[in-house]
Amino acid sequence: METTLRGVGVSHGVAIGEVRHMGTAVLEPPAKQIPAEEAEREQGRARQAVEAVAADLNARGHLAGGEAQAVLEAQAMIAQDPELMSDVDRRITVGSTAERAVYDAFSHYRELLAGAGEYMAGRVADLDDVRNRIVARLLGVPMPGVPDSDEPYVLIARDLAPADTALLDPALVLGFVTEEGGPTSHSAILARALGVPAVVALPGAGELAEGTVVAVDGSTGEIFVDPSAEKKEQLEAAAAERKAALAAATGPGATSDGHKVPLLANVGGPADVPAAVDAGAEGVGLFRTEFLFLDDSTKAPSEEKQVDAYRKVLEAFPEGRVVVRVLDAGADKPLDFLTPADEPNPALGVRGLRSLLDHPDVLRTQLTALAKAAEGLPVYLEVMAPMVADRADAKAFADACREAGLRAKFGAMVEIPSAALRARSILQEVEFLSLGTNDLAQYAFAADRQVGAVSRLQDPWQPALLDLVSLSAEAARAEGKSCGVCGEAASDPLLACVLTGLGVTSLSMGAASIPYVRATLGKYTLAQCERAASAARAADSAEEARTAAQAVLSGE
């Protein structure tokens, strides 16, 4: 009998297939004692396993490229964390086997994360994955992960570690469903990059029996269990109609009455550029530069290395707009040479621009590298700072850009509510704003973007978040400056129309979402988008806001 479940749709498309579950986690190793004379050998085993897992994660990242590479390289750094390894060595010295020492050391660190105000709780899935891989290697058992299958399937998991998501084969994995996660979790972001339909935050997903046929709608978040032939036909017809609409929509982003809304791509490095170009991106709205800094957590990359990487991206968009975010380190992206190791709550500490202002040499080198990379190119370079809180932050960043001789527009990201509330003040120092809706929601609602239990507060349709977007866009309009959105909110085609109605001047998203947004935006006039935006802001919940906007745009 057909039943319907609802989670959070995070990646467009429809997938129909049999359920396959993610491989089970590694069993807890037995707690047996070893003689003192075996300690050195066990410590060697532990180090070899750690290095092998780190190398494997780095290799997977190299194959995946782009955002996935940055995530996986960060996991490799977790595996090689010196404090964790010291704890492992200590436990072996007092009699633990290598596998038990690794298990216990990671468990202790896991408890520390869970106790850090829960901000870091979203990293527990990453930590568990690294632990399981090391223990599996030490035990000589298969790695936990994506099931082996010759036939296409829908993958079900409690959560997906980045190492698994990054290398999913879209030819086999039709779509995936997770019990945890949220619309801005690592799994969601990588799913959109892959173009795989995905639904997250679906309680009880793990109870779906192996082999059950399900239909996954990554746009609505609906899961149809044992769908009828009629339901399959409806979903397949809708998917075909959507595909035809995508193929028919070409050219620059605009409403049906010609109001231009440039559609830009979010990229993590040169590896993401081909997909952005193929999708018809009009430029880059968010160039995350962290990928360069994750290769070695002990020191910043050289100016020469940075120049080479930046130029590859800039050259791909001649006479296009490329917005570069300077290094956003801290919180879930710690770097040994830059971020404090003892912050009780890294998300509320020295992160983003704060880190760079504390280390002006790192910021100066990056800005100088960007200036050199843009020399002789017709590209419209714009550079923005992450985690700007007020006018003083904006001024400090603009001054640093001028001192580095950077010929570009200087901007500020709006990720902290104070920046939205005081946007007009900030715009006295910079030339544009870019809304990072992922972090803006996180800080507005005190809801970690990686924790599935608070995913409803991470929904970008939340009216309070739309209010903050509107405040920023109105301030930019009053100052005659631009205000774009580069957070995941821009990848929702319906929400893209609402954002346009709020006064946002450009939209940036993962390349796979651009055709969907282009096709949807082209159906409606600017006036319709403005009415939809007003209806959404008048609602009291995210679901009501979405329904109200849909009603306006469908003419109901």
Q: Kindly list the catalytic residues.
A: 186, 486
Strand partners, 508: 264
The span from the first CA to the last CA of the chain, in angstroms, equals: 32
The owner of tokens 């802001």 is 537
Do the bridges between strand 213-217 and strand 198-200 make them parallel or antiparallel, or are there none, so unpaired? unpaired
How far apart CA 236 and CA 242 sit, in angstroms, is 10
CB 213 within 8 A of CB 484: no
Rg (CA), the chain: 24
Structural tokens at position 540: 């009291």
Instruction: Read off the amino acid at residue 48.
Output: Q
H-helix segments, 209-302:
229-248, 273-278, 290-293
Instruction: Read off the amino acid at residue 174.
Output: L
Instruction: Read off the amino acid at residue 402.
Output: R
- CA distances to 105, 106, 188, 198 from 118, rounded to whole Å, are 19, 17, 20, 25
CB atoms within 10 A of CB 411: 29
Do the bridges between strand 173-178 and strand 153-157 make them parallel or antiparallel, or are there none, so unpaired? parallel
How far apart CA 411 and CA 415 sit, in angstroms, is 13
Altogether, the residues listed in the chain come to a count of 556
CA 43 to chain centre: 36
Q: How many helices (H) and strands (E) does the chain have?
A: 22, 16
How far apart CA 214 and CA 238 sit, in angstroms, is 16
CB 263 within 8 A of CB 252: yes
Do the bridges between strand 506-509 and strand 263-267 make them parallel or antiparallel, or are there none, so unpaired? parallel
CB 21 within 8 A of CB 191: no
CB atoms within 10 A of CB 234: 15
How far apart CA 273 and CA 427 sit, in angstroms, is 30
CB 437 within 8 A of CB 496: no
Q: Nearest CA to 272 among 198, 333, 329, 190?
A: 190
Structural tokens at position 245: 């609409």
CB 475 within 8 A of CB 421: no
The three-class DSSP label of residue 206 is helix
The owner of tokens 């970008």 is 460
Read off the DSSP letter of residue 96: B
